[in-house]
Structure 1
Amino acid sequence: MPKIVDHEQRRREIVHALWQVIAMHGLEGVSLREVAQAAEVSIGRIQHYFDSREALVLAGLERLIAQAGAAYDATAGAAPRDRLLHVLVQQVPRSELGRIGVTVWYAYLATAVTDHRIRQVLAEALRRGEAECAAHVAALRGVDDARAGAAARRLLALSDGLTLRVLVEELDPDDAIDILRAEVDGESRTRRGVSR
């Protein structure tokens, strides 16, 4: 009887190995050989699923975005405040696995400066995230789209800055999350006419 191969599982394992290589060496350190070694498979196995280094790198980014999207989708039905907090807090690294994920994300961001394909994928993901945040801000504050969009952009910028400080171990993750919660709750109070 022929062996049943779970091709999606194999792709996932290769992408996880890619992320390990990126976390250790950055995107410039990615080669099919390095990924094969991390995945404990042959280069031929990787080429069976990804026809080039560039295809593998792009697939890694797309999977990273898809995982973040699935985690966000799992919050459907939660209050707008909680969904907004999820988007703002999800990138703050609170474990070694989270630190690896954020390190990989920032490696892609750095590469986007010179790689237009990565820049396009990231720009679209960032636009979707900002739109989701803006919708939740609008629900919390009862403001128009322009004001909600501006507030969402400020909150996301704060989240990015706090995440970087946590990543370099200059700020505790719990402190970063407390700051984000306080900011979101300040946005909620503004809606009720309470000044910050």
Structure 2
Amino acid sequence: MPKIVDHEARRRHLAEAVQRLIDAKGMDGVSLREVAAAAGVSMGLVQHYFATKDELLLAALRHLNTRISLRVAAAPQDSPRALLRAGILELLPLDDERRFEARVGLAFLARSVVDAPTAELYRTGLPYVLAFYAGRLAAAQAAGEIPAALDPAHEATVLFAFAQGLVHPALIGHYSPDEVVNAVDRHLARLFAPA
């Protein structure tokens, strides 16, 4: 009987090897050969799934985005505010897993300014994040939890920029995880203040 191969699991395994290499050595440390060694597979297997390093890098970035999205989707849906808070905190380097993801994400962000396909992934992904934030804010607004005068789309943009501004300072130790969470909570408290 032929062996059943889970091709998606193999792609994920290779994408995770890429992420570990980026975290350890930076973007320059990624080659098909290095990925094969890090994943414990043959070079031929890597090339079977990804013809080029660029394809492999894009797959690793997509996988990173999927991991974060799945965690946000699994967050408690108690209220628009709680879900919004969870969605913001999942993007911040508050524990080992999220610090790893933030370091890898920053490497991809740097690549995006010189690599059009990477930039396109960021450009097409950002509207989903902003729509998620705006949707939670609109739901809170409909429930009377935030002032009616606030523009959910505008506030989503401000909230995203605010949260992203915390990533690098947190990674270099300027802000502790507790300080980051406190900053997010204080910003949300201002948004959710009674009119």
Of 108-117 and 75-84, deviating more is 75-84
In the alignment, the residues of structure 2 paired with residue 142 and residue 74 of structure 1 have an alpha-carbon distance, to the nearest angstrom, of: 28
Contact 1:137 1:187 in 2 (8 A): no
What is the aligned partner in structure 2 of residue 84 from structure 1? 84
| 1:98 maps to amino acid | R
| 2:122 maps to amino acid | L
In the alignment, the residues of structure 2 paired with residue 8 and residue 139 of structure 1 have an alpha-carbon distance, to the nearest angstrom, of: 35
Cα deviations by residue, 1:130-151 (Å, 9 ceiling, x for unpaired)? 111112222332546x821221
2:162 is paired with a residue whose SS is helix
What is the aligned partner in structure 1 of residue 5 from structure 2? 5
In the alignment, the residues of structure 1 paired with residue 125 and residue 162 of structure 2 have an alpha-carbon distance, to the nearest angstrom, of: 18
What is the aligned partner in structure 2 of residue 183 from structure 1? 187
Identity %, equivalent residues: 32
What is the aligned partner in structure 1 of residue 48 from structure 2? 48
2:192 is paired with a residue whose SS is helix
In the alignment, the residues of structure 2 paired with residue 134 and residue 142 of structure 1 have an alpha-carbon distance, to the nearest angstrom, of: 14
Contact 1:23 1:103 in 2 (8 A): yes
Matches within 5 A, 1:5-24: 5-24=5-24
2:179 equivalent to 1:172: no
Q: What's the offset of the Cα at 1:19?
A: 0.2
Q: What's the offset of the Cα at 1:155?
A: 1.4
Q: What's the offset of the Cα at 1:96?
A: 2.3
Cα deviations by residue, 1:57-102 (Å, 9 ceiling, x for unpaired)? 1111111112222222223743110111122111222222221111
What is the aligned partner in structure 2 of residue 160 from structure 1? 164
Matches within 5 A, 1:96-115: 96-115=96-115
Cα deviations by residue, 1:82-130 (Å, 9 ceiling, x for unpaired)? 1111221112222222211111111111111011111111111111101
Contact 2:113 2:119 in 1 (8 A): yes
2:45 is paired with a residue whose SS is helix
Gapped runs of 5+ residues in structure 1? Answer: none
2:136 equivalent to 1:132: no
2:118 equivalent to 1:118: yes
In the alignment, the residues of structure 1 paired with residue 148 and residue 23 of structure 2 have an alpha-carbon distance, to the nearest angstrom, of: 40
Aligned-residue RMSD, C-alpha = 1.7
- Name segments (4+ residues, structure 1) moved above 4 Å: none
What is the aligned partner in structure 2 of residue 28 from structure 1? 28
In the alignment, the residues of structure 1 paired with residue 52 and residue 122 of structure 2 have an alpha-carbon distance, to the nearest angstrom, of: 20
Q: What's the offset of the Cα at 1:5?
A: 2.3
In the alignment, the residues of structure 2 paired with residue 64 and residue 166 of structure 1 have an alpha-carbon distance, to the nearest angstrom, of: 19
TM-score, with length taken from structure 1? 0.89
